[in-house]
Amino acid sequence: MIRAPRWRIPVASLAALAVASSLAACGSSASSTGSSGSAGTYTLWDPYPQFDGASPWGRLVDGCGARAGVKIKRTGFDTSDLTSKALLAAQQADAPDVLVLDNPVVSTLAEAGVLTTTDENRINTSRVEPNLLAAGRIGGKTYGTPIGVNTLALFYNKKILRSAGVDPASVKSWAALTAALAKVRAAGKKGITFSAIGTEEGSFQFLPWFWGAGARLTDLSSQRAVSAVTLWSDWLKKGYAPNSVINNSQTTSWQEFATGAYAFAENGTWELANARKAGFDYGTLAIPAASGGTAPAPTGGEFVTVPVQKDTGRYTTSDKIVTCLTSAKNLLATDTALSYVAPTKSVQAQQVGADPELTVWVRAARAARGRTGDNLGTAYPKISKQLWGAVQAALTGAKSPKDALAAAQSAAK
């Protein structure tokens, strides 16, 4: 959640970003609505309808309310519903006291004047990693603080790589990954699966390669952008990736990898629990940038924000609730439960200490970027739509990567 300039933007733009923000990390069904609380009751809305009051998250919310000396009335909504509900409530001057939002929506609600800034509420974000806080910044102001992030990396099947003579430690660049895929293919195995579907999920999965090439979302037609689309296109042409990626969601892509037939899969932290149940030895690698190093992957996850209230005297207690929910102790418990990487180095270190497997994910999070960063804000959904359309056009052979991206850049303007 974010609070920015007080000028308003069209509801259509808000709806577009609501659609763009619904990724793989959060719930599915809505609970009953809430309204601004009385002096002794504060309202909190979140995108976790799958968690009831007896869940660890539900108990944490209740505990933070008790610590602040109030009762919290919590309501969980589906992610896309939450955005529209929050906008309507703000228009009716009936916004919740605390709002937990998918991070791309923060700039949308900030630009709509729905959120307060951390300066206004004196919420301390000094320990949050700057790249993770960036999704909540617009116009030099910060709106809320992240509760945790998820992001993307490469899962790999150890047995397949051994049989193909591939050392996973060697996969540190695009050339090395492509060479590994060639060896896997030569060994009669399947290469890599990912999601290139014509939705936000497709853009989400493509961004590490786009950014890893050094491309920028403000210039979709750059040669660096073309090189990233060409990489994926060539993989399909050579049989290193299946044609099914064109229609794969992140879930169906994971299901392909879970069959044990693929050497690699691009997917997120949310699949760690499923990976441990897959029935074969797996490992994880950071997605490589073109010439080496870790590619910036996009961040998923939520921000905890404080909406604008008529009664500004409520902010002090709201701030106490936010501070409690995002304290180091509570972040560790919550992010472990949600399969998130914590937004602060100190809690990340605790996570890795408890589970060394998270080392790769922490490295990915430290290199990650918010999709609405660089002050793109509500321009991101339009750019993203053109990006996933260009990828689709190139992978299906409808256009060359260069022509597809040139058309995308023209439309994005």
**What residue ranges do the domains of the chain occupy?**
11-149+300-367, 152-297+377-412
For residue 38, the model assigns a pLDDT of 62
Q: Do domains 11-149+300-367 and 152-297+377-412 have the same CATH topology?
A: yes
Question: Which residues of 278-320 form beta strands (DSSP E)?
Answer: 282-285, 302-305
For 243, what's the count of Cα atoms within 13 Å in the CB-facing half-sphere? 4
- By the 8 A CB rule, do 401 and 251 touch? no
pTM above 0.85, yes or no: yes
- By the 8 A CB rule, do 282 and 156 touch? yes
**pLDDT tens digits, one per residue of 216-228:** 999 999 999 999 9
Architecture of the structural domain at 11-149+300-367 = 3-Layer(aba) Sandwich (3.40)
For residue 375, the model assigns a pLDDT of 82
DSSP β-ladder status, 41-46 and 98-102: parallel
For residue 34, the model assigns a pLDDT of 40
Q: In terms of Cα–Cα distance, which of 197, 141, 195 is closest to 377?
A: 141
- By the 8 A CB rule, do 236 and 395 touch? yes
- By the 8 A CB rule, do 282 and 155 touch? yes
Residue 234's CB: how many other CB atoms inside 10 A? 13
For residue 336, the model assigns a pLDDT of 86
For 214, what's the count of Cα atoms within 13 Å in the CB-facing half-sphere? 9
Residue 145's CB: how many other CB atoms inside 10 A? 26
CATH 3.40.30.10 fits 152-297+377-412, yes or no: no
Residue 28's CB: how many other CB atoms inside 10 A? 9
Q: What's the Rg (C-alpha) of the chain?
A: 21
Residue type (1 letter), 177:
L
Residues of the chain where predicted confidence (pLDDT) is lower than 50: 1-35
Q: State how far the Cα of 412 lies from the Cα of 402, in Å rounded to an integer.
A: 15
